[in-house]
Structure 1
């Protein structure tokens, strides 16, 4: 009985003293921190959030309106959930500057994209790893290296136009531009000859696209699963190519300047290979995706806009528009052609003269940026515009928000290449098709050369007219801008290809 009595007393004391101790501890400790000021908005349903709504808008070509509606409702900072993660949408030049330069922000792509491309690509790496891998890639893509490859690009463009455009009455532009972009990448970045391996890589690459921007549900018959399977096929082909290139380098049968993979394999740090095989494979796959999509979209929509702007097209090709700013730019492609012998390839110096054509390309990128938006991740709490972006959340920004802002670009729906003539430059962090800051697209110079070389031969040898009526002359995002029926055009051949 005594033992029971003692136990009862101890229990009573514990019941009494425990709340008292908790009370005194709370009195002695500082008050809990105030609740973080989260941006307005809703995270929506678990996992799905607003992902399906955004994807629907992209496929209906209303994504710009979807983004602007959120901005009109919540302001330039709002919370939502995209592709399985809590997200903060930020908009405007100030937001772009923060995204590009804030030291605390780390890159963050949708889980679907990282899983399909590979987790050691430069979009995912941070700190020293990012600087190391990006620096290695720039060994191949810096301007003084790209100038060496103008002749190779010229050869691919002329071969493509002669095989797939010459003699045709109508063509679908977008599929052909995708083929051309793939051929340039396969030659320049992978060093692949035409044949079975190249065709297998092209097939696997097409399958990867389906799963890049999807809800990352790995179940049979989902787009994500199909993307993963295609990625596995592509990676096996790239891995075999990497091993083949390594053997050729070891036996002195190739040069580091032959292609991107050979360049990356040849880089050393203290006698050891600078990049791992996984990093070479992941970043080769990334280069395939990024370089293919941006170039194909840009060239397709340049043709689309020029079909409706004969004055600008004439100024590029023959100098018939007297309203352009200076006589030496009236006929840039005609003047370049006059200085070439039949069959002679373009040079870096020729490309540098194509100023009007690049303004046309810039205006196309402004109106139809190939990428709707990109992501960053907050490793720590980040304060912006009076709101807290919590640690672990992702941040989404979109170039079209500033590109189509009438306060930045007057009459933004009007195609006006003179916006980029050097005297009417937009405000900083407003024209951002290639991103900005330390993570600006490393392939920007290569894309410029490929675009201008292709434009030179197109405007010199062809004229084109859109086949579809205005009601069908539209496009959707899947996830890249995709014109209706591939943008069919009727061709007029004005000069034979040499």
Structure 2
């Protein structure tokens, strides 16, 4: 009996050794997954709202090193950061890393949106969006954005002594999106979108526990309402297309409906609706936040404000009274766009992003298990002194020669093949808005410079300012 036991032990030792080696080779990064489902989500969200999210990340890095595990929004997650991490995220084209958003975004925006797709589906849907959002297509929409901006300023700014900038910028970007993406001009149908859309935005970044009265629950209900309204618009445009044909450049939905291959529509109805919602959400918050923080910056930096004003007044002098801006005018706004780029560096609207490991991935000496989220953080390279000297100093000259910035270090729009397809759209919105605001008004801040992230950067009191009309150029 003892002999049999000895033989069994001798056979078991190499098996245990091999299992031990396998376990070691599959070593996940250090850290803790915390409480099931909740994990570190609440702590992370609290840090964002208190505008100490960077410190929250730095504390983790100091404790666990450059790569660590945690749980965010119901999923096991690996945090990575830095230039190498950005390159790893944006150039991993072998299928090891796939698009994925946190559960709340997926459920609120729909599972056929661009951020949830990979492979052929990603190429097909991205191609449809890019056909509308590429510079060659957007050139013809400058006049429409110009019209929306001037109408907005006349209605909400002129004759006012004080305004809250962020709410107004959100109104502006919502109206531009409604017009260009859905073909909704000002009126009842456009107005019906506003309240559910604002409710939807509140729960985009939330713990996905669907119980009554939570942000997530209210956002899901708002999403259902918006999807039903978009479905009605799609049906209206489909009928119009069948009866009279449709101008594919009329708006984004018309463009997506008009895309046909082998007598079949390229995109399904769900893909049209889910991606219209994605562009709506992405364009609404990011551009409004960028314009708001440029206005904040210009109030704090008189020399930079004077240089922006000089550039914009030179353009205004070449225009007839009431003549809209053109694509050529925007191309002359080089300094203004450098100011916008530096604003994006210091206050990126998107704090970070998520991907998913499609297979076990080795990174930084550890294994990121298949199915886990990968969380990367924008500002860790934007505020790195080794990349951008004196990172807390606002200096638009950093972007005079953009090629001098190391690759994968300035990533407000992402990078590589997954760079945001709407970045040119955001540039046009921003430049047109800043042109009319700086040539019509000066302003001073009536609130402090603090802001939170909920989920986007949100200044105290919505950035309350006092307005002073400028003498208009004759």
Contact 1:291/1:447 (CA < 8 Å) preserved in 2? Answer: yes
In structure 1, the residue matched to 2:377 is 398
Distance of 2:416 and 2:403 partners within structure 1: 22
Alignment of 1:49-64 (within 5 A): 49-64=39-54
19 and 134 in structure 1: CA distance in 2 versus 1, 3 angstrom threshold: farther
Contact 2:104/2:208 (CA < 8 Å) preserved in 1? Answer: yes
TM-score when normalising by structure 1: 0.90
Give, in angstroms, the shift of residue 21 of structure 1. 9.0
Correspondence for 2:115 among 123, 128, 132: 123
Alignment of 1:13-412 (within 5 A): 31-32=18-19, 33-35=22-24, 36-103=26-93, 104-252=96-244, 254-318=246-310, 332-412=311-391
- SS of residue paired to 1:189: helix
Contact 2:246/2:258 (CA < 8 Å) preserved in 1? Answer: no
Deviations 1:118-162 (A, max 9, x none): 000000000000000000111100110011100100000011011
Distance of 1:356 and 1:285 partners within structure 2: 32
Distance of 1:485 and 1:351 partners within structure 2: 31
175 and 28 in structure 1: CA distance in 2 versus 1, 3 angstrom threshold: closer
Distance of 2:18 and 2:386 partners within structure 1: 45
- SS of residue paired to 2:18: coil
423 and 156 in structure 1: CA distance in 2 versus 1, 3 angstrom threshold: closer
248 and 381 in structure 1: CA distance in 2 versus 1, 3 angstrom threshold: same
Give, in angstroms, the shift of residue 490 of structure 1. 0.4
Distance of 1:423 and 1:186 partners within structure 2: 33
Give, in angstroms, the shift of residue 496 of structure 1. 5.0
Distance of 1:486 and 1:278 partners within structure 2: 35
Contact 1:43/1:86 (CA < 8 Å) preserved in 2? Answer: yes
Contact 1:369/1:400 (CA < 8 Å) preserved in 2? Answer: yes
Correspondence for 2:459 among 464, 470, 483: 483
- SS of residue paired to 2:439: helix
Deviations 1:89-121 (A, max 9, x none): 101000000001112100111101100000000
- SS of residue paired to 1:31: helix
- SS of residue paired to 1:212: coil
- SS of residue paired to 2:235: helix
Deviations 1:331-372 (A, max 9, x none): x21221121111111111110110000000001101111111
Unaligned 5+ segments in structure 1 are 1-15, 319-331
Contact 2:355/2:375 (CA < 8 Å) preserved in 1? Answer: yes
- SS of residue paired to 1:188: helix
Contact 1:171/1:490 (CA < 8 Å) preserved in 2? Answer: yes
RMSD: 2.1
Unaligned 5+ segments in structure 2 are none
- SS of residue paired to 1:380: coil
Give, in angstroms, the shift of residue 34 of structure 1. 3.5
TM-score when normalising by structure 2: 0.95
Count residues with an aligned counterpart: 468
493 and 388 in structure 1: CA distance in 2 versus 1, 3 angstrom threshold: same
- SS of residue paired to 2:404: coil
Distance of 2:194 and 2:245 partners within structure 1: 26
In structure 2, the residue matched to 1:492 is 468
Give, in angstroms, the shift of residue 495 of structure 1. 3.5
Correspondence for 1:413 among 363, 385, 392: 392
The structure number with the bigger radius of gyration is: 1
In structure 2, the residue matched to 1:13 is none
Contact 1:112/1:215 (CA < 8 Å) preserved in 2? Answer: yes
In structure 2, the residue matched to 1:10 is none
272 and 467 in structure 1: CA distance in 2 versus 1, 3 angstrom threshold: same
Give, in angstroms, the shift of residue 452 of structure 1. 0.5
Distance of 1:390 and 1:371 partners within structure 2: 26
